[in-house]
Amino acid sequence: MSGDPERPVYRVDWLPGGDVLEARCFCGARRGLPDPVTAWTWLLDHPRHAAPPPEGGPR
């Protein structure tokens, strides 16, 4: 399988030990979310989520 370097890559991973999914956008933004629909909605909302959260704030 060959990848297209121009296409963005989104990832949603299950974090073991809980019911949290980690969504990772191609821009580097990450966020822990409770369900896959919320995770994909957040990812596809790029670039509005692209700003990193303030230090100490929720992801």
What whole-number distance in Å separates Cα of residue 24 and Cα of residue 37? Answer: 14
**Would you call 40 helix, strand, or coil by DSSP?**
helix
Alpha-carbon dihedral angle through residues 27, 43, 22, 58, given to the nearest 10 degrees: 80
The pLDDT tens digits of the residues spanning 27-52 come to 888 999 999 999 999 998 887 776 55
pTM of the predicted model over 0.75? no
What whole-number distance in Å separates Cα of residue 23 and Cα of residue 13? Answer: 7
Supply the pLDDT for residue 23: 92
The pLDDT tens digits of the residues spanning 2-13 come to 566 678 888 999
Supply the pLDDT for residue 16: 86
